[in-house]
Structure 1
Amino acid sequence: MSEAVLSSDTKAPPPKKKSGMRVRVQKLGTGLSNMVMPNIGAFIAWGLITALFIETGWLTGIFGSLDNPGSWVAHIGGWGDYEGGGVVAPMITYLLPIIIGYTGGRMVHGNRGAVVGAIATMGVVAGAEVPMFMGAMIMGPLGGWLMKQLDKIWEGKVRPGFEMLVDNFSAGILGLLLATLGFFTVGPLVQAFTDAAGNTVDFLVNHDLLPFTSVFIEPAKILFLNNAINHGVLTPLGTAQAAETGKSILFLLEANPGPGLGILLAFSVFGKGFAKASAPGAAIIQFFGGIHEIYFPYVLAKPKLIAAAILGGMTGVFINVMFGSGLRAPAAPGSIIAVYAQTPGDSFVGVTLAVFGAAAVSFLVSSVLLKADRSNEEADLFAATAEMESLKGKKSSVAATLTGGADRGPITDIVFACDAGMGSSAMGASVLRKKIKKAGYHDVTVVNQAISNLTDTHDLIVTHRDLTERAKQSTPSAIHVSVDDFMSSPRYDEIVEMLAQTNPDGESAAPAVEPRSASPAASAAPAASATTTVEEKTAGGSVLALESIVLHGAATNADSAITEAGQLLVAAGAVDVPYVDAMHEREKSVSTFMGNGLAIPHGTNEAKDAIRRTGISFVRYDRPVDWNGKEAEFVVGIAGAGKDHLALLNQIAHVFLDADEVTRLRAAQTREEVAQILTASSE
């Protein structure tokens, strides 16, 4: 099932505290999904190649390859005179597990983790006789994590000129050890588990018990535990089974769109109010788009409908067992289109009957339950949508289809909040403000401020994902949007799309108004006229002094880069020494990496007493430093005593959104040239 999401929450009461076990399972599922989903294209490619070129493939009959085992079709498929060769077997044996291991390592420790994760995965691939997807999901992240720990040991301790030597040999030696461990230990253990799980599936199939798996799978989908089941167990087992038999029923246990379709059709006929009106559109999105999560709020609104989902799922599995049908590869997303794309020729009848049989049963059961309970579905649906997003921990991009923006008015007050309210939030607000203004929403104000100063009076709050829970405590009624990348987050475009739903008259909105601050501590948007002030202050050395610009930084990691930027602020007389410690403390709570190669470390809100006056430092690195797995080429240290640094931050944001300006900054030869680029008006 696909999970296109907007990382935000609806305007609803604070979510209930999740149970620890379910949160851990969700995190596991998310991790597994993040390794598999980016590589689904490779699985689909393997499925299509299998469908075309194996001995029973589509092209075999067309070109008469059965009578010519030396044909080009047999050559690619790896059968006949080419037994053991071809493309099909190497893809499932080597390519698919290795790219999963590579992705898992990259998630933990960037490119270095990815390389070690791939090497470690090769060990388990060679040490087992079944496709090592589970082994890859273990060894990839393990390799990335161990590489990260090793890098921390000698971080900042390697003599200049030896960094590349140490980096390469440490990765190679660790890869050697993990590949060996995987070959002799992890590979055989995972194969034993796979064999046991396969025997369990065979037992369920042989004893006609496989349909009962829906008793666990369908409720798990509603609770967003499906990733742990689907990507952790069903996809690896199904792929191994498909490699042997050409198809697997396991790919259909969770992906069948029939149960959800039946529930939504029942609401279309027997629901009432907004639930009835929205159900037909939701059914189209669910069935053809494969976004199963869109029917979850309907079930949460009427929990008894879980019985319809279970019985529908059991019906679909039962029909597939009766007809011996299955898919060649995972259907992702769980759309009828994706399902048919992976259906072999001898399974079309069974798969079709399973989908529509499941839909029919869930429709009938849902209809009976809905007719017996005539309470207010419309009110329940809005609450259930919020509950769904609370369970998921994120807002679904399709949630607006259910709520239609009917539960709120226009969004006019947006606050970008961070811990101190002066660095990352100021720059993020600048980027978002520009996008919103360009889209024509001149009546929407975007300001930045510290989380501690938030009040529950705002329409939308934007924070780093690590700070969102804190922001919710003081602003529970606002929409909350979480971001990872302050400079170029895709969430900004999604906010603009949200405004298109809530503020339909944006393009014809009134001229820009002076942004209002929600509290005395809120930082207002810098006006265009502030450019002159910035240039004057920079020339005078009060904000960005030339002595605070370094063209060739000496730091080799994030910690030393923060110290280097902080010491420049101390030398300029902008801050006292304790402020540098507060910059490190700030980094421990939330990363100050902004994106586009830029980091802007600054102190915590509590450290403002250590600021003598506003100051900014700039350091450029010939070799980017590792900033929690991301590369920072430019580091801007910030100490903001008031609002006089905001105009400069606004211009810096514009610079780093322009690839040509970043190129100029990278090529600058003098401090004066850097200052000119950073302070030139971008309006």
Structure 2
Amino acid sequence: MSTAAATPTTGPTRAKQAQVRVQRFGAFLSAMIMPNLPAFLAWGLITSLFIAAGWLPNGILGGFGDADAPGSWQGAATALAQADDGTTFQQYVGLVGPMVTYLLPILIANAGGRIVYKERGGVVASIVAVGMITGSTVPMFLGAMVVGPLSAWIMKKVDSLWAGKIRPGFEMLVDMFSAGILGAAMAVGAFFGFAPIITGVSDVLGNVVSWMADNHLLPLMAVVVEPAKVLFLNNAIGNGVLVPLGAQEVVETGQSLLFLVESNPGPGLGILIAYTVFGIGAARSSAPGAAIVQFIGGIHEVYFPFVLMKPTLIVAAIAGGATGIATNVVFGSGLRGPAAPGSIIAVLAATPRGSFLGVVLSVVLSFAVTFLIAAVILRASRKRDLAAGGGDLAAAIAQTEANKGKSSSALGAMAASQAGPDEAASDRPLRSIVFACDAGMGSSAMGASILRDKLKKAGRPDITVVNKAVANLEDDVDLVITQRELTDRARRGAPSARHVSVDNFLSSPVYDDVVREAAQQSERSTS
């Protein structure tokens, strides 16, 4: 069985530390958005169907609101006062306005509060969020991501002041009144103080996007987004910034291209198909399956290792992403809501009537541009890669560093041999295994499914195999499997577990090592 590579004695570089901090921040933002994406999807579908410009216009469900602001219900009260025809307020409001104004921000704030202080924090965060929402003039997505965790943290600190000092029998009374009083006070404070600040910040960010659009600079976002995705910073950018800004833009214009900046499946598909045609070795054999998972399943993480193997491919991803953004700008197309996961199915489901041509072309053209550039890069280095070791990952990384002319800590980490469970620790029975990734979904779920199936075929279906977000790891698991970039964070969450690093959740010899160990343990227990 393979053994884990020796851990370097030198501490992490400042760049690595900064990357880990940004990853943590992105994971925190993602943890507020990801659980609530079904609500965003429901709102997007209702908007696509029932507003005046939707597929099935319905004034009762879509709301009559302000015709100049699709999805808005700010003009409902005025319209109702002028109607005098017996129409109810609910008919003017519909579903779209209350969902985007109240439901989505409250869900986000509640999720943020729960992360900080569990159920108690979630309740207080929801109370404060309502104060902020009613005191603002724009949807409070960004505000909810700030006020939710902040109000829960304040509640937690206040509770700590008298923790252990309350006489028995009075705990519930103190808990109820302290949360109610503090929640009410913070809600009033958010109404008068916080809401205007967040409204101003939202206006500034919206003006920046508008300025970029007016100056034809939106495609340049790909220069930041595509490299950030490969470095696992996509959650901070996508869920932390683009989704809230896109949702606000939908309220104002009925759609937003910001939803497609990070979730466009075209660039990733272009890289994977280029590897399928021009790649070598294990990369070529695993690329077709990864392409299906990425394009249909929407799990973009599966193409990140392919870019890390040959960093020059980031040029192809950037060019493809910029092409997709530019296409949506030219055609004035966008989505009604987030495409989550970033599957072509989710993209089409969130596409409003009148935007299909632009959205489909943005995916197709971004794929074509990425594929062509990636094909040139792979084809040009094919002979050198073959000579370097037939597509071996370590050899390919070494060759890439030689071509680049300098070493890279990220590539050096990936060049390390794939780690398996330690021989010294293999006597510890395997009862639970966790696949951990940044968001706890996507590729880690695929890896868990693959290993679960292998263990079942090996006669060990009793071993629990699940997937989680790195931030949610607990020290009650025997083995944790992560992609190499996240292993350090995983060790902090589950210090007593064994940790295994892989380069690709979809294909790794580590899985066979784990299955072999599990089978050997089973044989020893029955002998």
Matches of 1:150 and 1:162, distance apart in 2:
17
Contact 1:441–1:509 (8 Å) recurs in 2: no
Correspondence for 2:107 among 99, 108, 124: 99
Q: Deviations over 1:138-167 (max 9, x none)?
A: 111111111111221111110111101100
Give the aligned partner of residue 19 of structure 2: 22
Give the aligned partner of residue 45 of structure 1: 42
1:512 aligned partner, one-letter code? E
After the TM superposition, which residues 272-671 of structure 1 pair with which residues of structure 2 at under 5 Å, given as runs?
272-374=280-382, 375-376=384-385, 378-380=391-393, 440-441=459-460, 468=491, 479=500, 501-502=512-513, 512-513=523-524
Sort the Cα spacing of 1:58 and 1:382 in 2 relative to 1 into closer, same or farther, 3 A: farther
- What displacement does 1:512 show? 3.0
Matches of 1:229 and 1:35, distance apart in 2:
13
1:254 aligned partner, one-letter code? E
Matches of 1:158 and 1:120, distance apart in 2:
26
Correspondence for 1:222 among 230, 240, 251: 230
Give the aligned partner of residue 116 of structure 2: 108
Contact 1:287–1:336 (8 Å) recurs in 2: yes
Gaps of 5+ in 1: 1-9, 385-389, 396-402, 418-427, 445-458, 482-493, 516-526, 528-683
Q: Deviations over 1:91-140 (max 9, x none)?
A: 10000000110110111111111111111111211111111011111111
- What displacement does 1:211 show? 0.5
Q: CA RMSD in A?
A: 4.2
Matches of 2:521 and 2:26, distance apart in 1:
46
Contact 1:51–1:328 (8 Å) recurs in 2: yes
- Higher helix proportion, which one? 2
Matches of 1:300 and 1:166, distance apart in 2:
54
Sort the Cα spacing of 1:246 and 1:185 in 2 relative to 1 into closer, same or farther, 3 A: same
Is residue 267 of structure 1 aligned with residue 275 of structure 2?
yes
Bigger Rg, structure 1 or 2:
1
Sort the Cα spacing of 1:213 and 1:89 in 2 relative to 1 into closer, same or farther, 3 A: same
Contact 2:335–2:347 (8 Å) recurs in 1: yes
Contact 1:320–1:350 (8 Å) recurs in 2: yes
Q: Deviations over 1:401-425 (max 9, x none)?
A: xx9xx968899875598xxxxxxxx
Sort the Cα spacing of 1:164 and 1:259 in 2 relative to 1 into closer, same or farther, 3 A: same
Contact 2:458–2:515 (8 Å) recurs in 1: no
What's the % identity of the aligned pairs? 49
Contact 1:265–1:283 (8 Å) recurs in 2: yes
Give the aligned partner of residue 55 of structure 2: 58
Aligned residues: 443
2:317 aligned partner, one-letter code? A
Sort the Cα spacing of 1:89 and 1:167 in 2 relative to 1 into closer, same or farther, 3 A: same
- What displacement does 1:257 show? 0.6
Contact 1:257–1:287 (8 Å) recurs in 2: yes
Matches of 2:263 and 2:501, distance apart in 1:
30
- What displacement does 1:508 show? 8.1
Contact 2:276–2:284 (8 Å) recurs in 1: yes
Q: Deviations over 1:439-493 (max 9, x none)?
A: 7349x9xxxxxxxxxxxxxx96799998826999998xx6269xxxxxxxxxxxx
- What displacement does 1:59 show? 1.2
Contact 1:297–1:381 (8 Å) recurs in 2: no
Sort the Cα spacing of 1:382 and 1:58 in 2 relative to 1 into closer, same or farther, 3 A: farther
- What displacement does 1:276 show? 1.1
The structure with higher relative contact order (CA 8 Å, sep 6+) is: 2
- What displacement does 1:378 show? 2.6
Gaps of 5+ in 2: 66-70, 80-86, 398-408, 434-451, 464-477
Q: Deviations over 1:253-281 (max 9, x none)?
A: 11101111111111111111111111111
Give the aligned partner of residue 446 of structure 2: none
Q: Greater shift after overlay, 49-58 or 357-366? A: 49-58
Matches of 2:227 and 2:96, distance apart in 1:
35
Matches of 1:257 and 1:357, distance apart in 2:
11
1:372 aligned partner, one-letter code? A
Q: Deviations over 1:9-68 (max 9, x none)?
A: x955548825333222221111100000000000001111111111111112xxxx6xxx
Contact 1:29–1:225 (8 Å) recurs in 2: yes
Sort the Cα spacing of 1:208 and 1:499 in 2 relative to 1 into closer, same or farther, 3 A: closer
- Higher strand proportion, which one? 1
Matches of 1:213 and 1:511, distance apart in 2:
53
Give the aligned partner of residue 421 of structure 1: none
Give the aligned partner of residue 189 of structure 1: 197
- What displacement does 1:509 show? 6.9
Matches of 1:254 and 1:470, distance apart in 2:
28
Matches of 2:223 and 2:489, distance apart in 1:
35
Give the aligned partner of residue 171 of structure 2: 163
Give the aligned partner of residue 402 of structure 2: none
Q: Deviations over 1:69-93 (max 9, x none)?
A: 6x66657987886675111100100
Report SS of the residue matched to 1:332.
coil
- Structure-1-length-normalised TM-score: 0.58
Q: Deviations over 1:645-669 (max 9, x none)?
A: xxxxxxxxxxxxxxxxxxxxxxxxx
- What displacement does 1:177 show? 2.1
- Structure-2-length-normalised TM-score: 0.74
